[in-house]
Amino acid sequence: MPINPGEPSLAQLRAFLAVAEYLHFSQAASALGVSQPTLSAAVAGCEEALGARLVERTTRRVVLTPTGDRLLPHARRVLDAMEALTDQAAEAATPFSGKLRLGIIPTVAPYLLPTALRALRRAYPLLDTEVHEERTARLVEGIGSGRLDVAVLALPAEGRGLTERPLYDEDFVLVVPKGGSVTEGPVPVTMLRELDVLLLEEGHCLRDQALDVCHEVGAAVAEMTRAVSLTTLVQLVVADMGTTLLPETAVSLEARRAGLSVLRFEAPAPGRRIGLVHRSSAGRAGEYAEIAEELRRVIRVRRLPVRPALSPPAAPVARLGQLSTTAPSRR
């Protein structure tokens, strides 16, 4: 049956959304698993059907036109509605089956995934979990565009149309060179004023949280030394280049080595809340709620060094950069 003028196909809308997300035809084509000419033809077909130019493409860059920018949220809603339709049908037939595209931030992935993935395989043997380790902004974009189904990240997610399901709260600890000026805990957060604090590079939410608390107490930040991973940060501390803050889940893997001291903060300790996020319009929202509950259960059973969040969530704890009962800012 031919497509009526003014009605782009779902494949054409997906092509438009991919280009809008990546602003790069080659990367968008790779993400969709199609050739670049096929993607270009689909975008052109979408423009022809709508009678409007959506994308401007030059030799140097790709940008959305003002019309493309206005139509983008409508295209997302159309695909969300179709996904909800097909997902609801699949869920009715066989819930907890098929592919689950799970995103997770790098400062959580190495410490939670071994426990989480084993739990999901046991609880939902028909569910095929596909893991994407990315930074927060990329995960939120992926959830919004439909590239990902759920994401595990620090809350709040600060995205529109998202449902947040808290999983756990964890404290941060201070990692210092052994034999330095600070040797025993618990220590007040204001102790950071006397130390050089090493940070992750820009783009990590943990960096933003650490900056918040350092600015709040007037602590110095080693701006010229930045690391891509928590492992590198810890190695810099071993080399006596400064101190750093680690989430408690990372301590057993990253900080149990010679040359380091791990100190707790006085209450209320800075920390963060980690949660599962998905689109509120997702057709499998009920399944995602149960998956979050299963993750909370296994966190309790495995006795990870965190406080499992309740459902509905318990009162917030003091968090990094906001030592009160309100939720932390996170960029």
What is the arithmetic mean of pLDDT over 87-106?
A: 83
136-145 and 10-22 helices, crossing angle to 10°: 160
pTM of structure: 0.69
Q: How far is CA 246 from CA 125, 198, 200, 250, 265, in A?
A: 33, 11, 11, 6, 12
Q: Which residues contact 316 (CB under 8 A, 6 or more apart)?
A: 169, 273, 325, 326, 327
Q: What is the pLDDT of residue 331?
A: 36
> Which residue in 258, 99, 260, 266 sits closest to 185, CA to CA?
266
pLDDT in tens, 107-155: 999 999 999 999 999 999 999 999 999 999 999 999 998 999 999 999 9
Q: pLDDT band at residue 1, thresholds of 50, 70 and 90?
A: very low
Residue corresponding to tokens 């939720």: 327
Please give the structure tokens belonging to residue 242: 């400064």
pLDDT in tens, 192-207: 888 888 988 887 888 8
CA 129 to chain centre: 16
Compute how many other C-beta atoms are within 10 angstroms of the C-beta atom of residue 267: 10
- Look at the chain and count its residues: 331
C-alpha to C-alpha distance for 314 and 273, rounded to whole angstroms: 11
Q: How far is CA 104 from CA 7, 66, 173, 180, in A?
A: 36, 32, 22, 35
What is the arithmetic mean of pLDDT over 170-194?
A: 85
CB of 226 closer than 8 Å to CB of 200: yes
Mean pLDDT across the chain: 86
91/149: higher pLDDT: 149
| Strand-pair category, 150-154 with 271-279 | antiparallel
CA torsion 151-152-153-156 (nearest 10°) is 70
CB of 276 closer than 8 Å to CB of 165: yes
Query: How much of the chain exceeds pLDDT 70, in percent?
Result: 89
Instruction: For each of the domains in the chain, give its residue range(s) and CATH number, in order of start.
Output: 10-89 (1.10.10.10), 95-168+271-308 (3.40.190.10), 172-263 (3.40.190.10)
> Which neighbouring-strand residues pair with 199?
226
C-alpha to C-alpha distance for 113 and 130, rounded to whole angstroms: 12
Residue corresponding to tokens 């080693």: 222
Q: Indicate whether 239 pLDDT > 50.
A: yes
- 254 φ, ψ to 5°? -100, -30
